[in-house]
Amino acid sequence: MYQMSDRIQVFSADGADEGEGVDDQAIKVVDIVDTFRLQEQPAFDKKQFVTFMKRYIKNLTPKLDAEKQNLFKKHIESATKFLLSKLSDLQFFVGESMHDDGGLVFAYYKEGATDPTFLYFAYGLKEIKC
């Protein structure tokens, strides 16, 4: 899993930045959610989450080469256990397309943190060279 801590950015209705005074019309957004147009999903209970993970594993495994399949199988169990341990604290996001066979992005707030930490399954990401 990849972890990415993010910050909250404030956008003003009149285009002013956060440091240019207080605007009661300002909207606070999380950068990653806003930039990638992630859509928050309802929370899962344990049974729903396990069902999702089984389907995700079944769909993703054949798309990986043999070496990555072995690594994925080696790591997915501990990742699933970690996520289950935080299930009540997680927010769930999908991409803008909202494909039901795609992966989820998970977010939670570490104790005392004001910014969320995002978790991604590395094996489900596509690398794009810029």
Domain residue spans of the chain: 38-124
- Tell me the whole-structure pTM to 2 decimals: 0.72
Give the number of other CB atoms < 10 A from CB of residue 18.
Answer: 14
What is the C-alpha separation between 27 and 13, in angstroms, rounded? Answer: 8
Topology adopted by domain 38-124 = 2.170.150
pLDDT in tens, 92-106: 998 877 666 678 899
Confidence band of 11 (pLDDT split at 50, 70, 90): very low
User: Alpha carbon of 103 to those of 13, 23, 95, 122: distances in Å?
Assistant: 33, 37, 8, 10
What pLDDT is stored for residue 22 in this prediction?
A: 57
Distance, in Å, from the CA atom of 74 to the CA atom of 41, rounded to the nearest integer, reads 28
- Is residue 2 within 8 A of residue 120, CB to CB? The reply is yes
pLDDT at 12: 41
| Per-residue pLDDT at 16 exceeds 80 | no
pLDDT digits (tens, 9 = 90+) for 65-90: 999 999 999 999 999 999 999 999 99
* 38 Cα distance to chain centroid: 8
Which run of H or E residues covers position 107?
Answer: strand 105-108
